């Protein structure tokens, strides 16, 4: 549901400088190319010197009605909501309603080790509280309305994964708890707190807690692209991810949010400094992000088939944000190209060549693949005429042909090469390379 964080690769940037019109047109062409090849559709924006200077929208908010998305289309932003929650917690601390040392047991003593878990540890994902979205059971209730009691009952039944404070492990449960704690200390709904303490001060009119998606109100549905068509994805009920992933917004308003946060319009500079005190590259609802020789901060997210990014680089005075409602592509690549464009750098345009592989050939690759060097098996199978992969306990992903025996999944940076004579599959993802044997 809410995807774990992926940091941008620390990369060198090209010394070739384009004119502003050239570089931005190239980025628009790149995003159009992604959309034409059904890699991505969504909304993209960046700011330079704290002023929004680029906006591009591609694709549909509702494919059945051929309703095109526009600059005011609202998207679910997933785990970027955690940054909003962390800001509200810091505001509550400024208002003397909480402290970083306040214990979870003050609110939920029934949760295991609650008397040893602090607000700070919840913010930092260092509690040992099990991530409820990691369990298959999650998908039996995530589309149904939930109450505080029902979610707390789910969270408290899991045993702790580790003792509080000893390590970082991302858990949506932490921020669901923070969302409810905010409601208790302010005696207001989380939705009202977002409006009162973030949307109103920054004059955000399209940022709020979401509900059931209504395309008639310019809200985007999310999709997979399968078998030459867009397939609508199920909707998580937004009562489930309170505090962890229940906000809807637009990239331009997300830019206003992160720039406003940096410039002291929501909390004090001292509070923001505490949020940026990173341990294992994670602060309070913020992650540390590299680009060239600079470091930025922000968050990314995913809920249903929505994917989102929000990063700000103070020394560059550059912020980028995008939200997609269909993607078979790597967000890292999009983020880097947007940053390169925003800083006046050239980038290499990818080629999207279509390679047709017959079903008879694809059938030769079907099977279960194992290796002692990797903890999960990978199942390869054909579905609706398309080759797909699926690691043990995870969702299936489409494989795009690069050649007759080479395939890729751009969104995760996965490459596979099959050798039918040896019955092997060479697997690569980043620096990780393994050879799997077909059973």
% of residues, the chain, pLDDT over 90: 84
Full strand arrangement of the beta sheet holding 51-58: 51-58, 40-48, 318-327, 306-313, 294-303, 287-291
Confidence bin at 24 (pLDDT 50/70/90): very high
Which residues pair with residue 381 across a beta bridge?
388
C-alpha distances in Å from residue 330, one per residue of 3, 164, 207, 339, 429: 13, 33, 25, 15, 12
**pLDDT 10s digits, 363-375:** 999 999 999 988 8
344-361 core/surface letters (b: 16 or more CB in 10 A; e: else): ebbbeeeeeeeeebeeee
What whole-number distance in Å separates Cα of residue 11 and Cα of residue 336? 9
Confidence of residue 154 (pLDDT cuts 50, 70, 90): very high
Domains of the chain are 1-352 (3.40.710.10), 359-438 (2.40.128.50)
Tell the residue number behind the tokens 């923001």, with chain if given.
272
Q: Tell me the pTM.
A: 0.86
- 3 state SS of 103: strand
Assess contact for 300 and 196: CB atoms under 8 A: no
Distance CA 433, CA 421 (A): 20
* Main-chain dihedrals φ then ψ at residue 157, nearest 5 degrees: -75, -20
Query: Angle, nearest 10°, between helix axes 81-94 and 172-186?
Result: 40
**Structure confidence at residue 28 (pLDDT):** 96
Distance CA 129, CA 127 (A): 5
Which pLDDT score is estimated for 20? 67
Q: Is the pLDDT of residue 119 over 60?
A: yes
Which residue is it, tokens 């209504």? 214
What are the pLDDT digits (tens) for 345-364?
999 998 887 788 999 999 99
Query: Strand ranges (DSSP E) for 180-252?
Result: 208-209, 223-226, 229-232, 247-249
Lowest mean pLDDT among 39-43, 139-143, 218-222, 347-351: 347-351
Q: Which residue has the higher pLDDT, 330 or 40?
A: 40
Quick one: average pLDDT of 74-93?
Answer: 98
In the sheet that holds 414-419, the strands lie side by side as 397-398, 386-391, 378-383, 367-370, 432-438, 424-429, 414-419, 406-409, 400-401
9: pLDDT confidence band, cut at 50, 70 and 90? very low
Mean pLDDT of the chain: 93
CA 194 remoteness from chain centre? 20
Q: Is the pLDDT of residue 342 over 70?
A: yes
First to last CA, the chain: 31
Tell the residue number behind the tokens 């149904």, with chain if given.
144
pLDDT for residue 161: 97
């Amino acid at each position: 549901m809410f995807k774990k964080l992926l940091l941008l690769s620390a990369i060198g940037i090209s010394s070739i400088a384009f004119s502003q019109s050239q570089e931005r047109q190239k980025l628009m062409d790149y995003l159009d190319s992604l959309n034409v090849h059904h890699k991505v559709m969504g909304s993209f924006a960046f700011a330079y010197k704290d002023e929004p200077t680029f906006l591009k929208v591609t694709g549909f908010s509702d494919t059945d009605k051929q309703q095109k998305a526009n600059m005011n289309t609202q998207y679910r932003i997933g785990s970027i909501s955690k940054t909003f929650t962390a800001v509200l917690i810091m505001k509550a601390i400024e208002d003397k309603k909480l402290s970083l040392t306040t214990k979870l047991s003050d609110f939920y003593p029934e949760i295991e080790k609650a008397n040893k878990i602090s607000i700070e540890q919840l913010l930092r994902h260092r509690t040992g509280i099990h991530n409820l979205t990691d369990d298959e059971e999650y998908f039996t209730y995530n589309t149904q309305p939930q109450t505080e009691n029902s979610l707390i009952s789910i969270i408290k039944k899991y045993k702790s994964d580790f003792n509080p404070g000893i390590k970082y492990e991302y858990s949506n449960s932490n921020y669901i708890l923070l969302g409810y704690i905010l409601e208790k200390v302010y005696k207001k709904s989380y939705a009202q707190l977002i409006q009162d303490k973030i949307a109103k001060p920054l004059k955000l009119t399209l940022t709020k807690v979401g509900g059931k998606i209504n395309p008639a109100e310019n809200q985007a549905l999310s999709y997979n692209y399968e078998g030459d068509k867009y397939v609508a994805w199920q909707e998580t009920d937004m009562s489930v991810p309170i505090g962890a992933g229940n906000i809807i917004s637009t990239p331009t308003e997300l830019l206003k949010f992160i720039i406003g946060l940096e410039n002291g319009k929501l909390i004090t500079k001292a509070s923001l400094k505490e949020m940026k005190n990173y341990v294992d590259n994670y602060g309070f609802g913020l992650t540390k992000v590299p680009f060239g020789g600079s470091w930025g901060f922000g968050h990314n997210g995913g809920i249903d088939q929505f994917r989102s990014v929000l990063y700000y680089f103070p020394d560059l005075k550059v912020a980028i944000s995008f939200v997609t409602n269909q993607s078979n592509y790597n967000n890292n690549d999009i983020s880097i190209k947007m940053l390169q464009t925003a800083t006046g750098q050239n980038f290499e345009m990818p080629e999207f060549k279509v390679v047709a592989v017959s079903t008879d050939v694809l059938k030769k690759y079907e099977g279960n693949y194992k290796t002692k060097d990797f903890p999960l098996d990978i199942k390869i199978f054909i579905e609706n005429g398309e080759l797909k992969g699926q690691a043990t306990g995870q969702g299936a992903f489409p494989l795009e042909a690069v050649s007759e025996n080479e395939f890729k999944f751009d969104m995760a940076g996965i490459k596979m090469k099959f050798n039918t004579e040896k019955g092997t599959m060479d697997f690569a993802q980043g620096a990780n390379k393994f050879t799997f044997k077909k059973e």
